[in-house]
Amino acid sequence: MKKIFISALLSLSLFRASADEGMWLPMLLGEQVYKDMVKRGLKLTSEQLYSVNKSSIKDAIIIFGAGCTGEIVSNQGLIFTNHHCGYDAIASASSVEHNYLKDGFYAYNKDQEIPSRLTVQFLDRIVDVTKEVMDGVQGLSWADRAKKIPDVYKSITDKVLDKDNGISGRVYSMFNNNQYLMYVYKTYRDVRLVGAPPESVGKYGGDTDNWEWPRHTGDFSVFRVYADKEGKPADYSKDNTPLKPKKFLPVSIKGIKDGDFAMIFGYPGSTNRYETSYGIKLRRDIDNPSLVNLRDARLKFMYEQMIKDPAVKLKLASNYASVANYWKFYDGESKKLHQFHTYEAKQKSEQDFINWAKGKPEYENIFAEYAKNYTAWMPYAKHRQYMREGIVGSPLAALGSFMLQVEDALVKTDTKPDDLKKAMAAAAAARKNFMASEDKPSDEKILATMAMMFYNDIDKAQHPIGFYEGLKATFGDLREESTFKTWARQVFANTMFLDDAKWAAFAANPDGLTLQNDPAFAFASAFVKNYNTKYAPLYTVFNNRNNELGKSYMKGMMEMNPVAAKKMYPDANSSMRVSFGNVKSYRPRDGVFYDYVCTGKGILEKYKPGDYEFDLPAKQVELLRNRDYGQYIDKKYNDLVVTFITTNDITGGNSGSPVLDAQGNLIGLCFDGNYEAMSQKLIYDKDLNRTICVDVRYVLWCIEKLGGAKNIIDELQLLK
């Protein structure tokens, strides 16, 4: 293995595609991209952005939890991230008596900080492992390669594994499996909640304003990372001390103006900018509409219960927020794919490739093979979505599907006692988590509706054999909604998963017949086994072939036009990236102009006392009406700037990412994109794409003025 500085293939990613498009690998910034950044206003050297031997901005950027970004903002390990990134931790720390989601929370000293189950990861170094991976799968068919590659990855990451010091490696595929990089991380396990605004601030605007501009959401939360006395990662202990980081970000409250340079570091989750027209059509016409319809029903039933009872709202809050976020995203994505004629544009570029590939055996049949692959899979694509988003969208059914591993252990004749014991322990833990978050009234409606939607929308030939026939024989006409409601009511009344006494009896003496006769398990088992035995293998074949063709297509695109190849960047894949652009207003349609900031005035204009989405704490209303902005006032607007927009290229996973000025100072936290460019996972729109950011001055105002936690402000390096 060798450390990467630059390599021939990866240098292809180091040039901007067009306008502000591109999520670049900061450790491999090429001369042209860096010069472009400087022309746009950057005042830092490339080594100040990323360095192995010296502290650099990359050392202040962390993977926060399972899928967000955070940044270190003090020499005592203080973390800023989004409110929605800390949402589950805030909800878990809350109770009806101490409802931190509703009322907010601030620790006025370190003893008041609340432990969480979160982890944070710092990037240590990058290693090029392309040769090792390629050698490990050399000569294998793609199906065999897919089976072996996890072992190949493990053999590589095992060489850097150091559990005592929290060091581990992760291999990422770049450019559709044409190159592989290992990122080495250090993981810290003691992360504590320091502060969060009330949910009415952190989620102001709710689902109505989600993915929309103008936006007035204070989407931030504050945490701290701790280490043992030697500075090493450790489990929570009162003896642990705040981490002394290699680098932390100064915070600028000087303000921003239209056209200012903006840079975002973070861990964007996934894009598929090199998707084919076949993939666009599948997503636009089948996957997305199915997901939206199924999530719409689930959200409706959860919402009905949440508005009735604060305790239910607290219980369902995290799951509801997660489901709702991408419900709106995928609805918007499909509409934008139609509006932008993305399918047709892809077809045109693919025809250019087909014409070039004639007479080149390695490439000339790629799109004929794509056509065969998608034709074979398309009849089953909706089924897969209805399983993922429908059948196991019911928490009870999801638990039932988890119990399949218990059934497997019970029915196998060669199961060892220890294996059964482990399976039951895992099932008990899963049930405990389920019971803590289960809301029976909403889940019962979800179960009934998902079973009914599957019956109505999925080809009858693909239904699990005997299930609907049995349901009809026992409960009546399958054309009637009442039939499914009656069935679901019986499932909830009789399953042992919801009955402590029945579960205890089963756990004391587990047997396969009892499990198989449980109505919740019988439902989940029928659908999951039907999919796993008949359709999952087809999806595996489809996916493997797609990946194989994608690798060849990417390689061919680079050969077809070497000049254009130099402007290609790898798709986002949760590895560290940097994007750059400008603070910028825009015109989304004729006659409409959107300014680059939103202010406190707009918060009050949207304010609706008692409203689920637009209520505010009484103290905040008073402060805003009194214009009590302190040092955080914006001189141009003579108001408190709440949010701003930039042209930066981001995607999911960038939530909580720092927005930096030309000197590398923190000016905001990105948290969303705009509805006009919701196809950004598949295509970047140079005119309409905007990243929505909470202004750091609003963050600090909420902490100090609304929360009274000046101790947090005093910990920061403020630039005025």
What integer pLDDT is reported at residue 413 of this predicted model?
86
What integer pLDDT is reported at residue 327 of this predicted model?
85
Concatenating the DSSP letter of every residue in 136-194 gives HTTT--HHHHHHHHHHHHHHHHTTT-BGGGTEEEEEEEETTTTEEEEEEEEEE-EEEEE
Q: Cα dist. 115→33, 199, 229, 435, 685 in Å? A: 41, 20, 18, 22, 41
Residue 19 — pLDDT band, cuts 50, 70, 90? low
The chain-wide mean pLDDT, for the chain, equals 94
Q: What is the mean pLDDT of residues 511-530?
A: 97
Which percentage of the chain shows pLDDT scores above 90? 88
Q: What is the mean pLDDT of residues 10-35?
A: 68
User: pLDDT digit string (tens) for 70-129?
Assistant: 999 999 999 999 999 999 999 999 998 999 999 999 999 999 999 999 999 999 998 999
User: pLDDT digit string (tens) for 591-608?
Assistant: 999 999 999 999 999 999
Q: What is the mean pLDDT of residues 251-268?
A: 97
User: pLDDT digit string (tens) for 647-705?
Assistant: 999 999 999 999 999 999 999 999 999 999 988 899 999 899 999 999 999 999 999 99
User: pLDDT digit string (tens) for 126-144?
Assistant: 899 999 999 999 999 999 9
Residue 367: pLDDT over 80: yes
Residue 46: pLDDT over 90: yes
What integer pLDDT is reported at residue 26 of this predicted model?
86
Residue 587 — pLDDT band, cuts 50, 70, 90? very high
Q: How far apart are CA 184 and CA 162, in angstroms?
A: 11
DSSP 3-state helix, strand, coil percentages of the chain (rounded to 5)?
A: 50, 15, 35
What integer pLDDT is reported at residue 634 of this predicted model?
97
Residue 563 — pLDDT band, cuts 50, 70, 90? confident
474 close to 514: Cβ distance less than 8 angstroms: no
Q: Cα dist. 35→27, 29, 39, 71, 402 in Å? A: 15, 10, 6, 25, 52
Structure-token pair, residue 708: 């009274």
Residues taking part in catalysis: 84, 219, 655
Q: How far apart are CA 96 and CA 699, in angstroms?
A: 26
Residue 31: pLDDT over 90: no
Which percentage of the chain shows pLDDT scores above 70? 97
Give the rounded distance of the alpha carbon of 526 from its chain centre.
Answer: 30
What integer pLDDT is reported at residue 190 of this predicted model?
98
CATH of domain 577-719: 2.40.10
What integer pLDDT is reported at residue 582 of this predicted model?
97
Which phi and psi angles does 224 have, rounded to 5°?
-140, 140
Residue 9 — pLDDT band, cuts 50, 70, 90? very low
What integer pLDDT is reported at residue 1 of this predicted model?
38
User: pLDDT digit string (tens) for 195-237?
Assistant: 999 999 999 999 899 999 999 999 999 999 999 999 999 999 9
Strand-pair category, 641-646 with 718-719: unpaired
List helix spans (H) across 359-416: 366-385, 395-402, 404-411
Q: What is the mean pLDDT of residues 244-262?
A: 97
Residue 516: pLDDT over 60: yes
Q: Where are the domains of the chain?
A: 2-249, 394-534, 577-719
List helix spans (H) across 509-599: 512-517, 519-534, 536-560, 562-565
